[in-house]
Structure formats: structure tokens, C-alpha cells
Amino acid sequence: MNDKITVSTLKRLKKDGIKITALTAYDYPTARILDECGVHFILVGDSLGMAVLGYESTIPVTMDDMVHHTKAVTKAAKNAFVVADMPFMSYNISKEDALKNAARLLAEGGAQAVKLEGGIEIAETVKAIVNAGIPVVGHIGLTPQSVNQLGGYKVQGKDDKAASKLKSDAKSLEDAGICALVLECVPMDLAKEITESLSIPTIGIGAGQYCDGQILVLHDMLGLTQGHKPKFVKQYANISQIIKDAVGSYIADVQSQSFPTEEYSFANRKSDGK
């Protein structure tokens, strides 16, 4: 991949039937690796609250947190499309607040787009941000910022009424001008129906194979996350165990004095030519 991914690229990938690959990143070295691998779309998610800041949910994550981590990621991502989450209550109070906060993620953080959670109820806010020249990615289904209202981390849209609401949400967000839509924890037949009804790409997480692309939290798929693993997560490596093995070897080497050897040390200094 030699060209910077843009909104137009994402639309073309959908049109051409090429699946979009997306992962989260929260720091420079991780984003550099993902970019070098050819990932299309990097999300600086407010999932950083749980993945790297030790919070129990995304709700405590602040705008300053998001700007700080987005700035690190965008310095590394030469090709990938970088999207930054707008955190809890950063776009709900007023359109003015939403515009100011969205602008920070682009101007200070260097993101190419922002992501908002919600459906019809935030469509006018989305429209205002888009009209200001800021690309927006939508996010419906399981929306973690509303987890208390949703009654926990549950699959959404399982009955006809709930499915109808999600379809209406998707359409209203497309009409408001979003450039892509994340579908989280949605039955795959519903995700397929929504995907086929939209001209913009859908990115699934726990929404089945019919979305235009897929995203996972990097820390989940690498085995760095502790505790419960969601059903939709495929773990591709156990980096946690690799780190534990390496650190264990380091501790053993230091305590046995087998590290550092001369190979990892500098030669003795010369003393006054004597």
C-alpha cells in the first residue's frame, strides 16, 4: 500500500467488494506496525480506557486523553485512514461543543475523521460536523458509551422492533453524511440487510461476515486483554504470554548474573596511558 487511504478509498473498496481491514491503536509503535502491515483503517478508540488506561468502561475517557493518543497514532500512520472516537458527553451537550471537540481531534490530533455513537438522535449533530468539513464515522448497535442505558454488553436488534430502529438509525446517519458505519453486536442477517441498503461501507465487530469490513480491538486479538473475551473476538496470538516469558528470562538472567555479559558491556577504560 503506497497511497494514503481516504474517504473515497473506503467507498471504492465497498464498490469493488474488497473487504476493509480495521484495528485499534493507541500509540506510535503499534500504529506504525499496523500501518506497515497494510491495515486500511486505524481507530483510536475510546476503548483505550479499558485497553491501556485501566478503566472499567469507556466512560471516564476525556477529550484530552483522545487528543493525546490520536496525536501519537497519526504520527505513525502514513497510509491508513485514522479515525478518532469522540468520548462520552463530548458531542451530546450542544452542537457547538460537538464541533469544537471534533475540530480538536483533527487540528490537534491529526485524525482524518471522528466517530460518534448513536442513531437518529444524533443525526443533526452529525450533519453539523459534516457540514463543517469533518468526516464522520457512525456507530450503532452496541454502543459502549450507553452501556448503562442498554443494560450491559448485549447483542442489539434481536427483535423486529429493535431491528427496525437500527435500520432507521443507519439510514438517518447516511442521510446526515457519515462516510462509514460501525455495526457492533448485531445479528448477521440484520447487518447484511443494513450493509446492502447503504452506499457507504459498514465495518462490523460482532456483526458477521456480510459487513464491508471488520474491526477488532488490537489488545483483544493479541491476547493482551485480561478477563472476559467477547464471543466475536478471534485471538490471533498470545502476546501476554510472550511478554511474561521474556520478562521471566530477563529476571532469571539478572539474578544469575548471566546478563549483562561482555557482549552487552563496554570495554574497560584506559588509565592515563599506563
Active site residues: 184
CA distance 25 to 135: 19
CA distance 88 to 77: 25
| Binding site as annotated, residues for Mg(2+) | 46, 85, 117
Residue 202, H or E segment:
strand 202-205
CA gyration radius, the chain: 22
How many residues are listed for the chain in this entry?
274
CA distance 42 to 218: 10
SS3 171: helix
| Binding site as annotated, residues | 46-47, 85, 115, 117
E-strand spans in 28-164? 41-44, 81-85, 113-117, 136-141
Listed in sequence order, the residues at least 6 apart from 251 whose beta carbon sits closer than 8 Å to its beta carbon are none
Q: What share of the chain is helix, strand, coil (3-state, %, to 5)?
A: 45, 15, 40
Select from 235, 211, 196, 216 the least CA-distant residue to 41: 216
| Binding site as annotated, residues for 3-methyl-2-oxobutanoate | 46-47, 85, 115
Copy the grid coordinates of residue 146: 450507553
